[in-house]
Amino acid sequence: MEWIQTPCQLLSLDRLTLTLANTAVRARLSLDMSTGSVARCFTHALRTASDWAAPVASSSRLLSPARAMPTRAFAGGQRILGHACACCRGQKRAYSSYPTERPGAGAFAPRRKRTIMDFNSLKKKKVPVTMLTAHDYPSARFIESIAPPAPAPGAVPAPAGSSSSAAPRGIDIALVGDSLAMVACGYPSTNYLTLDEMLYHCRSVARGCTTSFLVADLPFGSFSASIEDGVRAAVRLIQEGHMDAVKIEGGPEIVPLIRRLTEVGIPVMAHVGLTPQRQAALSGYRVQGKTVSSAVKVWEDACAVQDAGAFAVVLEAVPSKLAAWVTERLRIPTIGIGAGAGCDGQVLVQLDMLGVDSDLGAGGKGPRFLKKYADVGERAREAVRSYVDEVRRREFPTEGEHTYPIEDKAWEGFLEAVKETEREA
């Protein structure tokens, strides 16, 4: 089997994540630079020592001798080949099947890749799950960069969610939401976004975010005509978009698709309440579940998607009382947006909460649920204004600080060399 090395990313000096791919499988593994062993492999397709031999050999060739640090990690090649990272210790892969147990917590570093088991375990412990959108490489890197660092070699890592306030856990789930249609592409609604456009954004996010669980929306229309359409679209999000799971808006009408995807091993996050892909049919972005029949529908939709196999469900713009009631009764975690603190987790659009002027955040207004944690838009405007002023005043670039020198001797030689042509010009 011929292995091809795809871009290899050095995340920090003590942790290296490699992405290896061939036509059949894509593997990501994280190496502990201090011990040269596999800290975590993000694929379960490669289980045996011989499975690893080819990719590790090809990456060794690629990494040495140009990159001295990464090469050190391969000094213990045997350890890599015979590795026993937590995910490969005979565990079953966790799909949308409500696994309730998680393996020995001590086996995990605090910032290994998040899994569905973690979300179930967090729900059980009543520790909120954090989710935030990422629409491109920088916003994904931003999420990755706030994750707590890996522990010192030999340290006994704390189990995920063991401490809710002392140690920040970073963002558990990065969502490539179709809100990117409006936020990143300037479309008037999420329904303009095509599957190909979504895939382009997914690939960029996956390159920047290696430890959060990656979820992408199935765009409007990509699953409407048939279950087969939905399966093909979801497979593309996993295979070409490099996502871990898909999110689908809807209730009982998407149950057959959730069932099918769960059967083939694609985890599904459901989305009920205010479903933006139906904003025209719902006569706008309106809070759902405020009347008896609407509240019953939210509850029944949530039950239907859970029973179909969804591993989690987004509750958008529903009364907090209803969301808390539903959360208490569902086995799967609920992720709220405009649904109150009684949910098992929260999600916001990154540019909204940063206070960048997004489609919803512009002009200081926005939905009630939106909290701006910063005013990045105003800071960015101030910066651009300063740049414009300094350029006009010739204060930027500053001589010596932002410029490259030429030695006097070279300069005099240059003037001598161009004497003739200078006169002609």
Ligand X SMILES: Nc1nc(=O)c2c([nH]1)NC[C@@H]1CN(c3ccc(C(=O)N[C@@H](CCC(=O)O)C(=O)O)cc3)CN21
Ligand Y SMILES: CC(C)C(=O)C(=O)O
Interface residues with ligand X (CB under 6 A) are: 179, 182-183, 190, 274, 276, 285-287, 317, 349, 352, 358-360, 367-369
Residue 344's binding partner among ligand X, ligand Y, none (Cβ under 5 to 8 angstroms by kind) is none
Structure tokens at 4: 């091809």
CA distance 184 to 139: 11
Stretch that binds ligand Y, among 76-84, 120-128, 176-184, 354-362 (CB under 6 A): 176-184
230 contributes a contact to ligand Y by CB under 6 A? no
Burial class (CB in 10 A: 0-12, 13-18, 19+), 216: buried
Nearest partner of 348 among 186, 171, 200, judged by Cα: 171
Tell me the closest approach of the beta carbon of residue 120 to ligand Y, in angstroms: 20
Residue 217's binding partner among ligand X, ligand Y, none (Cβ under 5 to 8 angstroms by kind) is ligand Y
253 as an active site residue: the answer is: no
Tell me the closest approach of the beta carbon of residue 183 to ligand Y, in angstroms: 8
Question: By C-beta, is 22 or 294 nearer to ligand X?
Answer: 294
143 contributes a contact to ligand Y by CB under 6 A? no
Nearest partner of 205 among 267, 135, 142, 130, judged by Cα: 135
Question: By C-beta, is 154 or 188 nearer to ligand X?
Answer: 188
Question: By C-beta, is 87 or 310 nearer to ligand Y?
Answer: 310
Q: Which H, E and C letters describe 393-425, residue by residue?
A: CCCCCCCCCCCCCCCHHHHHHHHHHCHHHHHHC
349 contributes a contact to ligand Y by CB under 6 A? yes
Backbone angles phi and psi of 240, in degrees to 5: -95, -30
Nearest partner of 85 among 124, 51, 116, 121, judged by Cα: 51
172 contributes a contact to ligand Y by CB under 6 A? no
Question: By C-beta, is 98 or 192 nearer to ligand X?
Answer: 192
DSSP per-residue string spanning 246-280: EEEE-SGGGHHHHHHHHHHT--EEEEEES-GGGTT
Question: By C-beta, is 43 or 277 nearer to ligand Y?
Answer: 277
Tell me the closest approach of the beta carbon of residue 298 to ligand Y, in angstroms: 15
Question: By C-beta, is 317 or 324 nearer to ligand X?
Answer: 317
Please identify which of the residues 2, 263, 316, 407 carries the catalytic annotation: 316
**Residue linked to tokens 């856990």:** 169
Tell me the closest approach of the beta carbon of residue 131 to ligand Y, in angstroms: 8
Residue 367's binding partner among ligand X, ligand Y, none (Cβ under 5 to 8 angstroms by kind) is ligand X
Among 118, 172, 217, 359, binds ligand Y (CB under 6 A): 217
**Residue linked to tokens 């459901």:** 270
Burial class (CB in 10 A: 0-12, 13-18, 19+), 63: buried
Among 36, 70, 161, 177, binds ligand Y (CB under 6 A): 177
Contacts of 123 (CB under 8 A, 6+ apart): 129, 332, 333, 344
Residue 301's binding partner among ligand X, ligand Y, none (Cβ under 5 to 8 angstroms by kind) is none
CA distance 54 to 31: 16
Residue 358's binding partner among ligand Y, ligand X, none (Cβ under 5 to 8 angstroms by kind) is ligand X
Residue numbers annotated as active site: 316
